[in-house]
Each structure stands twice: as structure tokens, then as C-alpha cells.
Amino acid sequence: MKLPYERPHIRKLTAGPPSKFGPRPGQQPVTELDGVPVTALAARYGSPLFVLSERQLRRNYQAAVRAFGTRYPQVQLAWSYKTNYLNAVCRVFHQEGAWAEVVSGFELEKALGNGVPGHQILFNGPGKRRADLLRAAEVDAVIHLDHADELHLLLELAAGLPQRPRVALRINLDAGTFPQWDRFGFNLENGQAWQAIERLAAAADRVELIGLHCHIGTFVLQPAAYGVAAGKLAALAQRCARELQAPIQYLDLGGGFPSTNTLKGAYLPGPDTVPPLDDYAEAITQALLGAGFRPDELPLLILEAGRVLVDDAGSLLGSVLATKRLADGRRATIVDFGVNLLFTSYWYDHLISPTRDYSPQTETTVLYGPLCMNIDVLREAVSLPLLAPGDLLVVHKVGAYNMSQWQQFITLRPNVVLIDMQGEVHVVREAETLAYLQQLEKVPGHLR
Amino acid sequence: MKLKPTIALSAAGLLFNPATGDSFSANPVALEILGLLREDAAPEAAKTAVLARYEVEAHQLDKDWDDLVAQLRQHDLLDS
């Protein structure tokens, strides 16, 4: 019987001080995802392949509810549709009790199509059209007003509506983070927000102000910033009640909670540096509980969680297409998924695992996607075993944003499967075909 | 194609180039090939030996052989 083969490789040994982090642990192969062999997944559904874990989706949701719900009496999560609006994912969260947070007219329709009652849909976003506002009012979604033009447009539209639209005001504020996000909503510190609130209070016969919202950033690593934001929103809500007799029903602290992915340029890996969600819950709820509300006046706390609920529930299974050597001798590995599918490779140094045992030999490689574009670089340098064409890899924590921000570019988008609680595999989005891609195209008669 | 005669090669897969002070580690297949080259085996004979001993197709070995030669050249370990 012949010996297992591995391509011949020599590695230059470099002298120097030992790493203060100790020797790098060997890479453990990931042979299964939720109990399903990765080889079986690739054989049946192709490569590349997005794999979602229903078990992890539910686990994440329940952990978030537990983090906030054990600290504050009234908590509601609103699933951030843009993070991953595959209907199967949305419906898992809605089954768990999530409302929907949408940022466009089509996302609003998607949420309605997923059975979310209008009054449980929060409509954010800076680009709502007239038709979007009318549709949101029609289905009783809460319109989160982003700017003065939108506010005045809604006031104009509301005059002709049979019922008052319910609205919340988007507030941007200084929570101590840098850069301060000020593009969404009305600024608190310069008085814009209060001016808008007064305007809404004066038009209380046409619109009903029920909430205050802020979204201080994305992948925010400082829980204390949320405490500052919660305290400022609480104070503003109290001012509404005191000066305008306009009680605020809910405070929406937005999203921005990080996953444990490792940001590019980070010194330490994400799992070692990202605070647990409990730290955010503690900061927010302590600020609200200490703000001076009477117990029966505590507003509902809404959180628009996205990434933290879905990122680690998604994996990308892909294959090595080729290996080559670059001009300076560096190894390059070409895989069958590119930045068009793995959009988050622009932000993260994704953890990538082999799927079978290899020798302890590793080499540092540039990881390229299959696109004929120089920008198609998934990792500038990653230590991997001695890979060969056909070898399978798993990219971890890809559930957030990739399946919504992906692009059909050069290659077609692949199957997405969901592994359910019983380990059954379901295709939740079929691989695209050329016919699908061309169905909206029209060829003028003179070119036929 | 020959390894420089001054290159030291250990049974554990360590290479040492006394001319530059560089050290290298070789995986088992590379070590076997380097050992054959050290014994003046011709490339085709070395490949035949590897094909007989390891689970690999000839075309794959051909490609990997070229890559190994490129590595050896890059690190200035070949005689010519």
C-alpha cells in the first residue's frame, strides 16, 4: 500500500525571539458542520456553498434575549433584515419572537411576506421614498424618521391618511466613540433632535411619536458607549414627557454589536478581544434603570441586532482550484470563492480551516478568489497546510452581510443550505443559472 | 540537477547551507526527493521512485516537481 502523498515543500527557518503568544496551535480540521460531513455537503450541493446552522441561529437569539431580558423588564429584538434577508433566516428569528427592522421598501415587503405584522416592523434608513412612507403607514409599521425632509414629507402625506402614522425619531449623538456617526438622524447635542421633536409634538393630530432611536456605529467594541447613548436617549425621553407631555413608549439602541470575527489590522484575534454581549446589555440596562424612570414608566428597550445573531451561524465551504508561486517566491492559492461572495473579506481576516488531516507542515499563502480581478484577495497571508487542488476549506463566521451584500460578478452565486435542528439539510437559495441571470435582460430588435 | 555538495541534509528533514547560514525544514516527500538527488539520481528516476512509493498521479508529481525545483532555486540550493 502506497504512502499518502503531500506535495514536496521546504520552509526556511528563521531565527528570532520566540513568539510571546507561544507556539501556534496546529489547525484542527473541520470535517463536519452541524453533524453533516463537509465532503457530503460539497458532493451534493456543490462548491462553493454557504451553510447556515439553524441551531446556532436560535442559540444566538436566545442568548441575546437572555443577556438583555434578565437585566431589564421589557426587551424586544428586531431582526436587522439587511444583515441576511434570506427568508429562512428571517423566519427562524421571527419564530423566536423577533420583530423586523427594515431599511428599504423591498425589505418592508419581505418582512410582510414573512408574516411579520406591520406594527412589529421598524422602518429605518435614510432613503425612504414617498411610496415607501405611504406603504409603511398603510401597514402600521413604525417609521423611523431620518431627516427633516422626510419628516416634512410625512407630515404632508399624513394629512391625507385615515390614521396617524406611528413614528420614532432617529437621533445621532456623542457616545464617546470616534468617528462619531452623524449621518443618520437628527443630532442631539446641537438641538436638531429637540427641534424635530417639537415639530412632531405640534403635529400630534397627524403623527404619533412613540419612540426614540439611535445607532452609534457598527462593530462597536466599547460597551460603555452604549451606556452613554442609552443615558442620553433616556434623558431625552424624560424631557419629552416633562415638557411636551409626549410620553415615549420605546427606546431603540440600534445595532452594531460585534461578532467574534477578527478585524483586519487587529493585533489580537476577535475571540480574545470582542466583549461578550452581556457587557453591552449591562451597560445599556444599567443606564436605563438608573435614569430616573418610575418602574411603571420604563420604556420598552428595542435592539436591532444583526451581525451578532447570524455571523457565527454561517460558514462558507469552498475548494482549492490551484496553487502557484508568485514572482517573489510566495505561495498563492486560488479557491473557488471570491470577494464577490465573501464580501466581508474586505473587513475581516476570516478564520479558514482545512477539512481533513494534513501533516504538521504549513506554509504561508496568499489566498485568491477565482475572479480575473487584482482585488480578489481573500487573505494577504494565511498559514495553511500544504493544500492541493480539490481540497475543501471552511471559512467561518460568514453569516452576516455576505448573503445580502454578495455580488453576481464573473461567477454565479452558489447554493445556500440550512441545516435544521434535526440535522436535515435544506436548500434555502438555489444556485443561480445563466437563465436566471438573463431573465431581466432585453435585446433590442436590431440586435437579435 | 544536483544539490550543492555543501548542503547538509539530516534524516529528520533539516537542511543547512553553510555558505549562507540558512536552515530549512523539508516535509517527508521533499526529504525523499532531496535524498535521491543527493545520491545523483536523475530527475526521471527520482520521480519514478516517488510514484512507486506514494499515492500520487504522475501529472501531479510533475507539477509539484517543478514547484520544488523553483523553491530550491529561490533559496540557492542547487548546483546548477
What are A31-67's pLDDT values in tens digits? 999 999 999 999 999 999 999 999 999 999 999 999 9
Nearest CA in chain B to A10: B26
Residues 6+ apart with CB under 8 A from A186: A145, A147, A148, A169, A170, A171, A172, A192, A193, A195, A196
- In Å, how far is B50's CA from the nearest CA of chain A? 9
Contact at CB, B55 and A11, closer than 8 angstroms: no
Nearest CA in chain B to A327: B74
- In Å, how far is B9's CA from the nearest CA of chain A? 12
CA distances A253 to A70, A121, A189, A343, A374, Å, are 17, 15, 17, 26, 39
Nearest to A282 by CA among A235, A238, A222: A222
Q: Which positions in chain A touch B52 (Cβ < 8 Å)?
A: 2
pLDDT band at A387 (very low <50, low <70, confident <90, very high): very high
The pLDDT score that the predictor gives to residue A206 is 96
Contact at CB, B54 and A4, closer than 8 angstroms: yes
Interchain CB contacts (distance < 8 Å): A and B: 71
Fold of domain A32-52+312-433: Lyase, Ornithine Decarboxylase; Chain A, domain 1 (2.40.37)
Which residue in A7, A329, A361 is closest to B64 by CB distance? Answer: A7
Give dist(CA A396, CA A390) in Å, integer.
Answer: 19
Query: Where do the structural domains in chain A lie, given as residue ranges?
Result: 32-52+312-433, 124-305
The pLDDT score that the predictor gives to residue B80 is 65
The pLDDT score that the predictor gives to residue A408 is 93
Count CB neighbours of B47 within 10 A: 19
Q: Which positions in chain A touch B53 (Cβ < 8 Å)?
A: 2-3
- In Å, how far is B18's CA from the nearest CA of chain A? 14
Predicted confidence (pLDDT) at residue A20 exceeds the cutoff of 90: no
What are A251-266's pLDDT values in tens digits? 999 999 999 999 999 9
* Contact status of B64 with chain A (Cβ, < 8 Å): yes
Q: Which positions in chain A touch B25 (Cβ < 8 Å)?
A: 10-11, 13, 361
- In Å, how far is B75's CA from the nearest CA of chain A? 8
* Contact status of B41 with chain A (Cβ, < 8 Å): no
Predicted confidence (pLDDT) at residue A24 exceeds the cutoff of 70: no
Predicted confidence (pLDDT) at residue A21 exceeds the cutoff of 80: no
**C-alpha cell, B79:** 548546483
* Contact status of B67 with chain A (Cβ, < 8 Å): yes
**Strand locations in chain B (E):** 8-9, 14-17, 22-26
What is the length of chain A? 448
Contact at CB, A10 and B74, closer than 8 angstroms: no
Q: Where do we find the cell 500520487?
A: B56
Q: Which architecture characterizes domain A124-305 according to CATH?
A: Alpha-Beta Barrel (3.20)
Instruction: Return mean pLDDT, chain A.
Output: 96
* Contact status of A442 with chain B (Cβ, < 8 Å): no
